[in-house]
Structure 1
């Protein structure tokens, strides 16, 4: 299906991203996966070439480009390169950390932190999840108490993407145990703050190069200038920023669906069985036809969501719809593509096999499918 969402500027940007990936990512990604670590230097190169961070204003050294379509182009090209560990780290910066820093910082904070993201010298992470708290944000036990002008932070976080690599971590903590949903605040914890330690690099079934970690905070002294946003509105800040995170997940999901589908389509018409291409069997053609249709239909929703985000009208409910549906579609497409590859689909050297495990997390992080349906259902009941 033809898409009319892009302009010539987006297509020129696509070439820039494609050339960057071919030069700086594709030759190294297999080694990163084996080492379970992405070379830090690649992010400085990625930032320099505008692969992420385009939305940072010119006053802080950025391009000042808020159009999310550029972000979608980057996601599509990274998916075609099958560099999903790299894709997640880039998305973490654009769709989470920078989204918070651009919206919630003071002028002093922006001048202190944003130039480092422009150059790729700073990598950020967002720390919400705890060992006993996943989607139930009001169950957060990490807490901070005032000590003069500062705050003293104690607690533990887990499943934190880029937790080992991150220089800045946005941490959600309880600051008033008696204030209910208004008793949480956000803090920026910096790399060398005493009492901030990182636990083990977690061993995941997929995305091995993308580091995920446990974080520990023991009497970490947080200067007043590292409070992010408004004291007591941390939960509201988290909720208001979830639509972009969920849009980012949907964008990555549909891009990966299309990339792996195209690999599979080519394979089906190259692979011979019983004297003909397996794509010439009706069953295989029907499998391909169903996936092509579902991907095109979902793409239309994602494209519309991106335009709505650009216009400032993407609702939390619409973002939740896209997040659960497209990430579940992604799992179905990966499973069917593995099946069509036969035994080769189970071999790690094939992109479809790696995508099968790398993308399984998509229906879990950013809010599980069940939570997305609850958000939509509550809106319908209202």
Structure 2
């Protein structure tokens, strides 16, 4: 690779800057203008780098094509290693997913039959805003949506585990944990209670308001809330005050006498999910650009310091597949109990036994260490 003395890219950039100086476009003492000119000159040189450094470009193209089959072979090897160890566990994990998806359809049918038998359900408006469902209908649909999203996430976790992406597995398990905390929080005052779920349903305008504020601060011109959303925002503030729009203001009924902001960790503790906190924090490391997470990625394998694609991490796989299966069961139970209680279709509860059996089978496989060679 070229050094500072014979870099064609640097020579081109310097010539462009010197040309600007000769033309009087840059003057002595204008440090800001000089810095901007240098940055722009380097960008221009990089755009022309294929012409300036044809040998280097040819080398790069050759290396890219050489690496492509090596990468594919490595990724296939990682997948085979995971399947050798966790193939049976992943089949059991899929049983959990399939059971949860069938449960979702059951709950959907329960809600549909309930609405057909009692049309007043859809006429209960949130905060009196016409066209926005509130009350028990909103709570059932919210739990159904939470459970359906959990199904999607565990599908992702299963695929990511099989193909060797442990950090992504931890990150998605973190998301699953958040869904579980919310699912339990919505019924902390009772399965049929709607004091929390109504606020959670109206929280969409709080999120929209925050987004508008952030984008406006960046000098953008986002569309303001209009129509039903604007009316819902006005009604929410009139009913619950401006504190509603602060962090997790929807959860205020869970903490009498306390004003937001309310950290997720407090809600987590209230609903008894803090025993899973360690996995949530591990997911944080996998998502955020913290120095500990970056330093912890060092492997010194295959001639590289850090991994750039898939890898085998059996311990991460076993723990997070087990945790995500257990968390999925928690969300399924929360959704099933609410829908059954409100719709009075209690036969749907038998699905929880099937879900529990599937999760127990998967958990046992992961705890035992899988199919060791």
- Decide: shared fold, TM above 0.5: no
Higher relative helix content: 2
Q: Would you tell me which structure has more strand in proportion to its own residues?
A: 1
TM-score normalized by the length of structure 2? 0.27
Larger relative contact order (Cα-Cα within 8 Å, sequence gap ≥ 6): 2
